[in-house]
Amino acid sequence: RIQILFEYGMIVLHVAEKNDAAKTISSILSRGTSSRREGRSVYNKIYSFPFQVFGSNCQNNMTSVAGHLMEYEFIGDYKKWQSCDPLSLFTCPIVKFVPEKMKKIKETLEAESRKAQKLVIWTDCDREGENIGQEIISVCTAVKPSLDVYRARFSEMTQRSIFSAVNSLSRLNVNLSEAVEARQELDFRIGCAFTRFQTMHLQKKFSDMISTVVSYGACQFPTLGFVVERYKEVQQFVAETFWKIKVSVEVENGETEFSWSRGRIFNQHACLILYQICLEEPTATVVNVSSRPKSKWRPVALETVQFEKMASRKLGLNAQRAMQIAESLYTKGIISYPRTETNKFPSSMNLSELVAKQQEHRDWGAFAGFVCESGPTPRQGNKSDEAHPPIHPTKCVTNLTGDDKKVYDFIARHFLACCSKDAKGTETTAEIDINGEKFTAKGLIILEKNYLEVYPYESWNAKLLPRMEVGQRFEPKSIEMVDGQTTSPPLLTEADLIGLMEKHGIGTDATHAEHIETIKNRNYVGLTPDKRFIPGQLGMGLVDGYDNMSFDIGMSKPDMRAATERELLLIIRGTKQRSQVVREMLERYKDVYVKAVREVRKLDQKLAEYFGRGPRGGGPGSGVGGGSNNDDDDDDDFPMGPKNVMVCRNCKTSDVVLKQTRNGSYILGCMGYPQCSASLFFPNYVISAKVTETKCTKCGPHPPFCLNFKFKPNSVPPTMSLDYIGCVLCDIELRDLFDVRKLVNPRKHAAVSQERGQYVTTLGVGTTLSATSRFNNHPTIPDTAVQPSLDNDTYLTRSLNGAVSVNNRPTTTTTVKPPGMMPGVNSTPISTSSSTPNCECGVPSKKLVVSKDGPNKGRQFHTCAQRTCKFFQWSEDQVSETSSSRHVQQFLPPPQSGENIVCTCGTAAVKLVVKKEGPNTGRWFYSCSARTCKFFLWADEEDSSSRNHNANLSNLGFVSGFNNNGTNGAGAGWGSNSARSSGTHQCGCGEPAVTRTVQKSGPNKGRVFWCCSKPVGDCNKCNFFQWDDDTDSSFTVTPSQRYKRPPPSTDFSGSQKPKAARLCSVCRQPGHRKPNCPLNN
């Protein structure tokens, strides 16, 4: 009893493609008793009715969508035309989402899905309908994954077809949907890339001629190519004069012309000789008379392409308008589904019933009765899509007007003509001889008109021939020599164009009209008064420009698109995967794009010919595809946006590009922003930065391009050239200069969901590549935080504003440096115990175990015992300072032993040699062996500078790890800053200064000066400067005169530094402001 109640209470949600279809289907299933209520969208109602589905009584709710529910879009900065090179659109991440105009429909589906147990898809039974059904499923199952989904298959809105569909529900054809997804992605990526390329380039070159979008489509351009090709044939046609002999014979109601067996000849003198021979003996002799039955075939069953062509030729309607009317008649249940490739009726179809319905019509009812009596015998074609029958009327209507009546009348008459019989007649052929020259004439007697009685769109006229017998002789009425000229082929009509598109596989029967309308709306083509296509200047220039490029297959030719359609058929048959087809076709079009960019001058030249003036600037567009980073671009004529540097190591999907901000500084940023906020800001002493054509040979598997930097004088260490080329990921000089640090324990940032055929790219948010303190904000990690494994390819610090977790895991943070640590020092604080590291508070941390289910369950980690700082470290990640610098050491030459130079870290420095071409080539210098501090010292300055430096290290509390004989002494470590010995000079920090020698060529070369002992690049380094030979010359240099970054606003732990107390503007004392100052009283 409980089971019966449950089954009776089951709710089934039905979804149609349009509201009219939902209304008609619900009316049929409920037999006119359905109730209507409003949905979230005012255009899509909900119809409710009880009906038996799946063998039980159910409550049924039927609603609808409005065509495709979802569409593709780029993410982040890829949406902006000027933000990226269009070449990147072939591979950048895309997302399929519900646009704003469809949000109300989506809300209706979600609300109804939550109440339903089963879902039935009633979209049109073709490729597009299958894909729309897949979109509906993805929305509904997102809120209720347990929803059981079925597919109703029907071809007409009749009671028989609808009840048959609901009683034989099946599952969705995923292959059909995948083929549509592949076509949509290809058209979206290819169209956007070429459209941006054409529009931005041509609008700048021909700004006074082109102000609108110059679009490209993989079907649109071949369609334009057909029009241009025929126009050129007409323009290049050269008429030729011909001559022929014409013989006329008198008959009862006029005369009959006999045609010369030679046809026509192009030699006037030869024709004149033959003509004179006929005149010498002008009597005609009948040499042959024959008669045979003749039939005019009735039309085959109507399919979409033939319907579009006939509507254009006979009804005066363009294909798009005709299809709109046909779809409207279909949703009203008047005709069958109009988008079909089938031109033969299935044997199971009851044609007699359909013909009998037409007996009620006043215009062709009698003819329909005649067909019923003799039995319908349709003329069958040879095509079938196995989904829909040919287009035919499903009921007899007499109340239509205007274009609706035109379309319905044609479909009904075509159906009756197809089911009727061929027209029959007798054809007589007579042949005569005039002095050796043969002439023939044909006559026709119509015996039965049959289908012609109901089908006025074709004619078959009788032609009288005089009664003749073999051997009969008579005098012709006239014998003439006439001339004429050959004529050019006519310009294409819409019917001709649709025929060419079908022949070459451009588009489908559902999209032919759409592509034709697109090239008309873009002003690529126009129409003559007799409705024939003629290309415009822009259309001619585009086709000729691309045809002049060195493509293996021209962009205006149908071959590439036809190949794509063939690949889509392989997806439908299940022999190829969608991803494989998309990847292969994108590679082909990407090669075409690269060639088009390289040879864009040819496009400019052709358009200049048609526009009557040269392109503005005259440049070839050398910046196309290369961004605006090339100073050699002759007029920066192609602002294609920044050039790609690498694939983002954070989100793994978007490109990282080099940009220039409004204030002139440079930044490396991920194009996936805001989904991915990876970025690296370069300091203001970088004069310029450009992307080179050289890829890094050390980074992989997707190596970045090297960057060419130009620095301000005296802003970088002497070992670096002011014009420097290197990789920001592995070049140690650049990593130290920009304070590029390695990202610890990054999470996985990208996930691709393909559940139920939906292709949505979801990006994690929040990793930032930073050289400033702006991004040093780290959230607290909970005790059960899940930490993914280390990604060795990901560098720099991390910002987590607006982060999105993957698989419901908390966002990962990095281990940060405690306050006061030198830049570049290992981020794990040095502790007194090798087993228990200290946290950022300076006290031993506590060890915990991950208890949350996941890949890290049971893994041990260290965190602050008092939960006052943000320290976090996996237990197995406790590494020494030496091991932490192993990645850096692999790029360094072997150290020189036996030296007694100690770096700022308190460890033995390494001796290296300058290899870069320049004034210091071959010169030896000392640097930190672990690459954790900024220590630098020329070897030839060792005698004077090293003593001062080592003394300063001792004052700072570092103990040298090496004694004077080179053996290892007391262990180096952090010491006290209080014990300081007085030096000869003190810097602004109150600490002993060190001496340096001017190396740069000029009047001061070789001169010794005093400066702060802190290493170059230390944010705490002061501005002290004094010449050694001038005790009164101490002064502070500006930041632009030396190598120093502005101090950060936060410390390395991420906490804000305390702000200075605000002072009164009168007495300069804290605690009050000017209005309350005692001095004012």
Residues marked active site are found at: 337
Phi and psi based region of residue 770 (left: phi greater than 0; alpha: psi -120 to 50; beta: remaining): beta
Q: Are 566 and 505 in contact (CB under 8 A)?
A: yes
The answer to whether the bond into 701 is cis (omega within 30° of 0) is: yes
Give the separation between CA 894 and CA 35, rounded to whole angstroms: 86
- Nearest residue to 644 via CA among 53, 45, 88: 88
- In this structure, which amino acid lies at residue 829? P
- Chain centroid to CA 418: how far? 46
Contacts of 849 (CB under 8 A, 6+ apart): 858, 859, 860, 861
Give the separation between CA 961 and CA 903, rounded to whole angstroms: 10
Give the separation between CA 233 and CA 792, rounded to whole angstroms: 62
Give the separation between CA 755 and CA 138, rounded to whole angstroms: 8
Contacts of 585 (CB under 8 A, 6+ apart): 186, 563, 564, 567
Q: What angle do CA 18, 20, 22 make, to 5 degrees?
A: 70
Helices (H) and strands (E) in the chain, counts: 23, 36
Q: How many CB atoms lie within 10 A of CB 313?
A: 15
Are β-strands 686-695 and 679-681 bridged in parallel, bridged antiparallel, or unpaired?
A: unpaired
Which token pair is 134?
């897949």
Q: Are 901 and 942 in contact (CB under 8 A)?
A: yes
Q: Which residues are bridge partners to 284 per DSSP? A: 474
Which token pair is 613?
């003036």
Q: Which residues are bridge partners to 924 per DSSP? A: 913
Q: Torsion angle, CA of 203/207/212/214, rounded to 10 degrees?
A: -40
Give the separation between CA 750 and CA 754, rounded to whole angstroms: 13
Contacts of 679 (CB under 8 A, 6+ apart): 667, 668, 669, 670, 673, 768, 769, 770, 775
Q: Torsion angle, CA of 712/714/719/720, rounded to 10 degrees?
A: 0
Exposure b/e, 182-202, CB count within 10 A at least 16 = b: bbbbbbbbbbbbbbbbbbbbb
Burial class (CB in 10 A: 0-12, 13-18, 19+), 625: buried
- Could you tell me what percentage of the chain is helix, strand and coil, using 3-state DSSP and rounding each to the nearest 5? 30, 20, 50
Contacts of 114 (CB under 8 A, 6+ apart): 143, 144
